[in-house]
Amino acid sequence: MRRFAWLAALVLASVPLATPAAAQALACRKGQSFERWLDGFKQQARAQGVSQATLDAAAPFLTFDKAIIAKDRGQGVFSQSFLEFATRMVQSRMSSGPAHLRKHAALLARVEKEFGVPGPVIVAFWALETDFGVNNGSLPVLRSLATLAYDCRRSEMFTEELLYALRIVQRGDLSPGEMRGAWAGEIGQTQFSPSGYFKYAVDFDGDGRRDLIHSAADVAASSANLLAKGGGWRRGEPWLQEVRVPARLPWEEADLAIKHPRSQWARWGVALADGRPLPADTMPASLILPMGRGGPAFLAYPNFGAFLEWNQSLVYATTAAYYATRLAGAPQVQRGPFPAATLPAPQILELQRLLARDGYEVGKLDGKLGLATRAAVKKAQLKYGLPADSYPTAELIARMRSGR
Ligand code: CA
């Protein structure tokens, strides 16, 4: 299961690419009114086991809100580098994070015992998502989801999410009035999607309800359960470790999709951040270079997959994982010997067009340096004989423009 992939965009200062007027939004429904769409949706919900009583209770919130459409259309582009984003997100939370680790020490110990996920990992998401419940969002979730389901952009997915939100109501976890959250329907102190809530939320304080809005115990245990069952968390294993890379390395090996035992990375000259040798054992790891070979470097262990499952943005996932290492006692990340300049969104967009022109698979042309774009960048770097560290540079764009 994936949480909403665009979540990271919500917390970023952004560069809008285009903001069509909300009024245009629903031309796609070809004149079908919200009310007629809603009749059809209710029929579908009943067929899937949602009771009439649940639909009646939800009715006041099953309305259309054009402000939600405008927010969805106005979403910006993720254009911050790892160091910019991590510095902003982590530095300001280096006192609140440890304070919450201490405050909830007993709870987090119980959660780790049951689910295998350590406290610093849970606290990292808890802090980054809502600052421990301060910014849960206050919009009626059912209204946001009904609006986004009626819209055609991602109708199928939001229709599913709306069905799950109704199932949460029916199960008695939250009333329709209590179910308030972020504009895209994320709920609670760690911003679960309704489907994630329904599948992974647990009642850990024993009051009979899974309450991710008010109960710290439910929030901590449910987040751990999601990471364990949805993200495949392995008890007792690390997730991310800062390393130092040598001047020369087969850079194309630095790829999330490639894992080598630590002993292999050690043979290639990768060392711990403080210069000491890596343990030369069989623990598998990927080398990730979120800002290219001159920037910060990390070994990502199998547990890093749980961070990507939470949010598939590499910058967000690496930031959350790094913050968790800080909470577990790791020192501040080094900037790397020569961190590459961050290309702004319009240049990433141009690069994506060049990559697509040459037949590389880049996914959506959106100006975002996502995993698909990084993978295409690596292939182009190999073709042009550049160090294939998957991080785009102005040089690569220039070479692709001229075709040489
Ligand atoms: Ca509870």
Encode the chain (404 residues) as per-residue pLDDT tens digits: 345 444 433 333 333 444 444 444 477 888 899 999 999 999 999 999 999 999 999 999 999 999 999 998 877 655 788 999 999 999 999 999 999 999 999 999 999 999 999 999 999 999 999 999 999 999 999 999 999 999 999 999 999 999 999 999 999 999 999 999 999 999 999 999 999 999 999 999 999 999 999 999 999 999 999 999 999 999 999 999 999 999 999 999 999 999 999 999 999 999 999 999 999 999 999 999 999 999 999 999 999 999 999 998 899 999 999 999 999 999 999 999 887 788 988 999 999 999 999 999 998 898 888 889 999 999 999 999 999 999 999 999 999 999 87
Between the CA of 323 and the centroid of ligand 1 the distance, in Å, is 27
Instruction: Report the candidate in 344, 340, 366, 342 with the shortest Cα–Cα distance to residue 355.
Output: 366
Between the CA of 196 and the centroid of ligand 1 the distance, in Å, is 16
Rg (CA), the chain: 22
Half-sphere exposure of 86 (CA within 13 A, CB side): 23
E strand map for 219-344: 240-244, 260-261, 271-272, 284-288, 297-300
Between the CA of 216 and the centroid of ligand 1 the distance, in Å, is 9
Is there a contact between 195 and 158 (Cβ–Cβ < 8 Å)? no
pTM to 2 decimal places: 0.91
Ion ligand 1: residues, CB within 5 A, are 203, 205, 207, 209, 211, 215, 218
Which whole-number Å values give the CA distances from 334 to 183, 295, 322, in the listed order? Answer: 36, 8, 12
Between the CA of 192 and the centroid of ligand 1 the distance, in Å, is 15
Cβ neighbours for 304, distance < 8 A, ≥ 6 positions apart: 239, 240, 286, 288, 317, 321
Name the helix (H) or strand (E) containing 139. strand 139-140
Cα–Cα distance, 51 to 42 (Å, whole number):
10
The whole-number pLDDT of residue 5 equals 42
Between the CA of 317 and the centroid of ligand 1 the distance, in Å, is 28
Residue type, 160: E
Between the CA of 232 and the centroid of ligand 1 the distance, in Å, is 24
Between the CA of 384 and the centroid of ligand 1 the distance, in Å, is 57
- 3-state class of 298 per DSSP? strand
DSSP calls for 105-128: HHHHHHHHHHH---HHHHHHHHHH
Between the CA of 219 and the centroid of ligand 1 the distance, in Å, is 9
Sign of CA pseudo-dihedral 354, 356, 361, 364: positive
Cα–Cα distance, 145 to 190 (Å, whole number):
18
Cα–Cα distance, 215 to 232 (Å, whole number):
24
Cα–Cα distance, 89 to 147 (Å, whole number):
31
Is there a contact between 197 and 164 (Cβ–Cβ < 8 Å)? yes
Between the CA of 92 and the centroid of ligand 1 the distance, in Å, is 30
Between the CA of 350 and the centroid of ligand 1 the distance, in Å, is 49
Between the CA of 37 and the centroid of ligand 1 the distance, in Å, is 35
Between the CA of 202 and the centroid of ligand 1 the distance, in Å, is 7
Between the CA of 209 and the centroid of ligand 1 the distance, in Å, is 4
DSSP calls for 263-274: HHHHHTT-EETT
**Exposure string for 28-50, b = 16+ CB within 10 A, e = fewer:** eeeeeebeebbeebbeebeeeeb
Between the CA of 100 and the centroid of ligand 1 the distance, in Å, is 19
DSSP code, position 285: E
Burial of 328 (0-12, 13-18, 19+ CB in 10 A): middle
The sheet with strand 260-261 has its strands ordered as: 260-261, 284-288, 297-300, 240-244, 271-272
Between the CA of 106 and the centroid of ligand 1 the distance, in Å, is 17
Between the CA of 208 and the centroid of ligand 1 the distance, in Å, is 6
Between the CA of 351 and the centroid of ligand 1 the distance, in Å, is 49
Cα–Cα distance, 395 to 229 (Å, whole number):
43
Between the CA of 173 and the centroid of ligand 1 the distance, in Å, is 8
The whole-number pLDDT of residue 28 equals 80
